[in-house]
């Protein structure tokens, strides 16, 4: 069986992280999101994959190449414009049963195998992977009757049904006929859920299969959830130098070329990439992923965060429940808040407006190249665009756009302060 992976999207909700990279290349526990999709396919004995690319296509192709390094055979086709998921599938050509999976979906191989088997057993034109979530208002909700799909309702305002479309499909080639009949939406897109609706209206039976493990990485805080799941199942390994009097837990993976200095305390599960400089006397708490060439120095505490390559936090800083882009620099004493004073859910501004993240603990999202001055503070849920900066003593309470700087102005009083 062959597969189609959809990796052409811009990922606007993931800004500022996607302003400089494809969402598919955001690292989770040391590997890009898209690599986990390939691992799941490989676990289902699917190695012949067509990848639909668009935004940042060169970076994806440069990273994965022909796929041999990852045990895959990869071919690439371009979706010239972002015109929806059905349009993305339409630029491919499959003449037999095939898997389609969104490139920003973290799904376990066992669930994928089970979905394929159910498709083969039932013999329907389509089998949809589904997952039960706590709140379905941000997803496409699947309606079923007697084990068959009767409809998909996109982002309902109110629903008691929590079974959602997981972006994992087993298609027969007839899907191309339905896509050709699919009209463009008001946004100028062809959506695969509309194509599925056409199949349903024509009386074609569609099966649904529940997935055991799934994360859709569509919003910045989803990265933390995917990172947590990946770290839970990673294989521990220590391939670096550790100085005396440093503590490294058993469920930690550290790559070669990294140095763990004396007094460092590293709990797991945690991932630390190549050529990092960790310590002395720092505290790295569980569910932290640190990419290559990162500096975590004296009296720095990092908790449940993703730190991308080349970032430095050299001294006296706290980073909690945050996603930090590449080549950022934290001035001494920088603190990233991750809990509201009233302990309510953290809010974050996305493309469509202010969103409830559903998380009581969530820090900041920093684009690439952000700098902070000494003793600065960033409030929970704040986003900083690429190459932005906050000066010494700043308390940042709102989002900061790319290439902008916030400073605290000081004024000298003319009169003497002592008489």
Q: Give the active site residues.
A: 315
Q: How far apart are CA 103 and CA 42, in angstroms?
A: 14
149: which strand partners?
Answer: 144
Q: At 215, list the tokens.
A: 């994360």
């Amino acid at each position: 069986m062959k597969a189609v992976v959809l990796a052409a999207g811009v990922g606007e909700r993931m800004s500022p992280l996607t302003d400089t990279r494809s969402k598919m290349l955001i690292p989770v526990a040391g590997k890009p999101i898209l690599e986990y999709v390939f691992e799941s396919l490989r676990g289902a004995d699917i190695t012949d994959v067509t990848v639909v690319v668009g935004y940042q296509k060169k970076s994806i192709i440069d990273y994965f190449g022909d796929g041999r390094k990852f045990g895959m055979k990869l071919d690439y086709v371009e979706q010239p414009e972002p015109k929806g998921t059905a349009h993305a599938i339409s630029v491919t050509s499959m003449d037999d049963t095939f898997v389609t999976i969104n490139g920003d979906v973290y799904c376990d191989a066992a669930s994928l195998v089970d979905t394929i088997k159910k498709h083969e057993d039932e013999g329907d034109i389509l089998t949809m992977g589904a997952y039960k979530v706590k709140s379905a208002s941000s997803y496409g909700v699947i309606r079923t009757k007697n084990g068959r799909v009767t409809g998909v309702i996109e982002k309902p305002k109110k629903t008691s049904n929590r079974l959602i479309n997981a972006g994992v499909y087993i298609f027969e080639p007839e899907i191309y006929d339905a896509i050709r009949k699919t009209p463009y939406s008001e946004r100028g897109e062809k959506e695969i859920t509309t194509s599925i609706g056409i199949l349903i209206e024509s009386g074609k039976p569609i099966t649904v299969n529940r997935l055991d493990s799934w994360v859709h990485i569509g919003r910045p805080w989803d990265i933390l959830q995917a990172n947590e799941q990946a770290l839970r199942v990673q294989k521990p390994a220590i391939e670096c130098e550790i100085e005396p009097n440093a503590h490294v837990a058993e469920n930690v993976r550290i790559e070669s070329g990294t140095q763990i200095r004396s007094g460092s305390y590293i709990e797991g599960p945690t991932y630390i990439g190549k050529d990092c400089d960790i310590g002395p006397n720092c505290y790295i708490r569980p569910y932290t992923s640190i990419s290559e060439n990162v500096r975590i120095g004296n009296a720095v505490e990092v908790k449940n965060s993703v730190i991308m390559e080349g970032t430095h936090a050299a001294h006296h800083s706290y980073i909690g429940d945050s996603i930090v882009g590449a080549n950022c620099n934290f001035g001494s004493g920088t603190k990233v808040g991750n809990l509201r004073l009233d302990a309510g859910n953290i809010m974050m501004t996305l493309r469509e407006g202010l969103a409830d993240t559903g998380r009581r603990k969530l820090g900041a999202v920093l684009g690439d190249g952000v700098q902070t001055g000494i003793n600065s503070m960033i409030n929970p849920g704040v986003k900083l665009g690429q190459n932005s900066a906050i000066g010494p003593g700043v308390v940042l309470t709102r989002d900061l756009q790319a290439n902008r700087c916030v400073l605290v102005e000081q004024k000298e009083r003319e009169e003497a302060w002592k008489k």
